[in-house]
Amino acid sequence: MPPNARRTTLADIAQAAGVSVATVSKVVNDRGDVAPQTRARVQELLHQHDYLAPVFRHTKAKTSPVIEVQFQGSLKSYVAEALEGIIDSAAEAGASVAISKASRAPHWARDLVSAGRRALIAVTSVYTAAHLKELARAGLPLVVLDPLHLPDSRVNSVGATNFAGGLTATQHLLSLGHRRIAYLGGPAMAVCNQARMHGYRAAMEAEGAPVPAAYVRPGEFSYRNGLLGAAALLDLEEPPTAIFTGNDEIALGAIETARARGLRIPEDLSMVGFDDTHLAQMASPPLTTVRQPLREMGGAALRTALRLANGEKVESHHIELATELVVRASTAPSADLKRPTMCSERSA
Residue-wise pLDDT for 170-216, tens only, equals 999 999 999 999 999 999 999 999 999 999 999 999 999 999 999 99
Same domain as 167, residue 79: no
Residue 13 located in a structural domain:
no
CA–CA separation, 342 and 16 (whole Å): 91
Tell me which residue range forms the domain holding 308.
65-161+296-322
Same domain as 190, residue 153: no
Residue 311 located in a structural domain:
yes
First-to-last CA distance in the chain? 80
User: For the segment 256-298, what is each residue's pLDDT rounded down to a tens digit?
Assistant: 999 999 999 999 999 999 999 999 999 999 999 999 999 999 9
Across residues 82-103, what is the average pLDDT? 92
Mean pLDDT of the chain: 87
Same domain as 137, residue 254: no
Same domain as 128, residue 238: no
Residue 32 located in a structural domain:
no
Same domain as 253, residue 334: yes
Same domain as 167, residue 284: yes
Residue type (1 letter), 331:
T
CATH code, domain carrying 109: 3.40.50.2300
Residue 10 located in a structural domain:
no
Residue 256 located in a structural domain:
yes
User: For the segment 41-73, what is each residue's pLDDT rounded down to a tens digit?
Assistant: 888 888 777 765 444 444 444 457 899 999 887
The alpha carbon torsion through 95, 96, 101, 106 (nearest 10 deg) reads -90
Q: Who contacts 262 (Cβ-Cβ below 8 Å, separation ≥6)?
A: none
| Confidence (pLDDT) at 131 | 85
Report how many domains make up the chain: 2
Same domain as 226, residue 197: yes
Choose between 106 and 245: higher pLDDT. 245
Best CA proximity match to 42, nearest among 59, 61, 19: 19
Check whether 303 has a pLDDT greater than 70. yes
DSSP code string of 205-256:
HHHT----GGGEE---SSHHHHHHHHHHHHTSSS--SEEEESSHHHHHHHHH
Residue 1 located in a structural domain:
no
CA–CA separation, 260 and 336 (whole Å): 22
Same domain as 248, residue 200: yes
* pLDDT band of 7, cuts 50, 70, 90: low
Residue 4 located in a structural domain:
no
Residue type (1 letter), 306:
L
- pTM exceeding 0.85: no
Across residues 218-228, what is the average pLDDT? 97
Same domain as 150, residue 75: yes
Check whether 13 has a pLDDT greater than 80. yes
Same domain as 217, residue 101: no
Residue 45 located in a structural domain:
no
Same domain as 105, residue 173: no
Same domain as 274, residue 331: yes
